[in-house]
Amino acid sequence: MNRIVERFARLNRERQKGFIVYLGAGDPNLEATRQLALALDQLGVDVLELGVPFSDPLADGVVNQLAAQRGLDSGTTPSRLLATVAAIRRDSQIPIVLYVYFNLICRQGVESFIRDAAGAGVDGLLVLDLPPEEGADYEAKMRAAGLCNIYLVAPTTPENRIEMIVKRAAGFIYYVSREGVTGMQSQVADTITPMIAKIRAHTTLPIAVGFGISTPEQARLVAQNAEAVVVGSAIVNQVALHGKAPDLIERVSGFTRPLLRAVKQL
């Protein structure tokens, strides 16, 4: 069974909520990404999203844009990232999702990219700029490789389109909790609860909520309604602050621990 599907099935059996962490791959370098992945797995993180560095990350705010640039500067490419995923797999079975822009997939070729991702131990792809209406060939290749094609739903997505999106998704639905790009926020949107209800009316897939969740209090609030909480920019910012420090792994783990505890101790 796919690791993402397996993890959410286990969480459901245990009546637990999921905690998902996003990292910019190769920030500050790929060895740090490997070490962070193993540390986050040991901490109890349920799913790891790795952002594939790209020169034009249109869905990302400044924190993740800068992380992508640092990843490019460190020499991170899709093939080197997949080699790092394979290295992570020698020590960890944490579910891994690549957060990626379709240009990078097209550059290599859709079938080749998916085959290599599956071979390295990736469990799903979240393609930021591929509309589901244009994803039939991609979805078929993902199913054949045993990978989850994860789709986004936004606050502005009309209900008839929500129904179409969730029927074509696999693994989980990623609900973007607010309009705009990724980034830390002082409060969560008040539309999360009704939007989760709208999405849930059309699917039994788990719903993960991300974009802007930055504190344990926010994480706890979102976890009351969603199956999983995604924290990205707040953790990426810790990598930015301490990327050159010898205790980077400990600092990121220390920052992440109370966020995870807030989600797990409802």
Q: Inform me whether the pLDDT recorded for 37 exceeds 80.
A: yes
* 63-88 tens-digit pLDDT: 999 999 999 999 999 999 999 999 99
* 47-57 tens-digit pLDDT: 999 999 999 88
Query: If you average pLDDT over residues 259-266, what whole number do you get?
Result: 90
Q: Inform me whether the pLDDT recorded for 180 exceeds 50.
A: no
Q: Inform me whether the pLDDT recorded for 181 exceeds 70.
A: no
Question: With bands split at pLDDT 50, 70 and 90, how would you rate the model's confidence at 179?
Answer: low
Position 142 scores a pLDDT of 98
Question: How does the average pLDDT of the chain come out, rounded?
Answer: 94
Active-site residue list: 49, 60
% of the chain surpassing 90 pLDDT: 90
* 151-161 tens-digit pLDDT: 999 999 999 99
Position 183 scores a pLDDT of 46
Residues 6+ apart with CB under 8 A from 2: 123, 124, 146, 147, 148, 171
Strands 124-127 and 148-153: parallel
Position 178 scores a pLDDT of 58
Q: Inform me whether the pLDDT recorded for 9 exceeds 60.
A: yes
Query: If you average pLDDT over residues 180-201, what whole number do you get?
Result: 75
**Residue for token digits 């400990």?**
250
Helix (H) or strand (E) holding 231: strand 228-231
Position 61 scores a pLDDT of 84
Count Cβ atoms within 10 A of the Cβ of residue 235 and give its class: 0-12 exposed, 13-18 middle, 19 or more buried: buried
The domains located in the chain, with CATH, are 3-264 (3.20.20.70)
